Amino acid sequence: MATSSPISQHGAAVALVQLLKEFGDLPPLYWQVSNHERYRGDLYGFASLPDPRPVMAVWAEALGATVTQSQFPYTNDEVYAQFAVETLWRDVRVRIVMSCPAAVLASETAVAA
């Protein structure tokens, strides 16, 4: 079905191709091109890792952004740490989010001490 209206995700899809070409040597992520927030194309990157901090740091540095950290309750007895990088890259919003059990980070800190 042909349409004459602009495709809201087109810019994000093109930016994702450029991002992956430019940073092809960085750790791979699962990418989702979204049209949330008034049908603007956004890129969301995800990965499932025991400790996402090293991967987040590499992507944040490449994108010229900072990593933010927060915690949230996952179940009644488990808290998760969430790490996020949010920035504009070539006029497209990029958001990378990863999380892990906070207990994993606490045990690694205890081992390092």
Among candidate residues 110, 101, 96, the one with its CA nearest the CA of residue 31: 96
Mean pLDDT, the chain, whole residue set: 81
Which residue matches tokens 């070409």? 21
Q: Is 56 a member of any domain?
A: yes
CATH number at residue 91: 3.30.460
CA pair distance 47, 100, nearest whole angstrom = 10
Cα 32 to the center of its chain, rounded Å: 10
- Is 52 part of a structural domain of the chain? yes
Asked, for residue 36, whether it belongs to a domain, the answer is yes
Return the bridge partners of 32, or none. Answer: 44
Q: What is the pTM of this model?
A: 0.78
> Is 108 contained in some domain?
no
Query: Is there a domain that residue 64 lies in?
Result: yes
Q: What is the pLDDT of residues 56-70, one digit of tens each?
A: 999 999 999 999 999
Strand duo 30-34 + 78-89: pairing = unpaired
Q: Count how many domains the chain has.
A: 1
Domain that holds residue 33: 10-69+84-99
State which amino acid sits at residue 25. Answer: D
Evaluate whether residue 60 is within a structural domain: yes
Single-letter amino acid code for the residue at 106: A
Residue 5 placed within a domain: no
**pLDDT 10s digits, 74-88:** 877 788 899 999 999
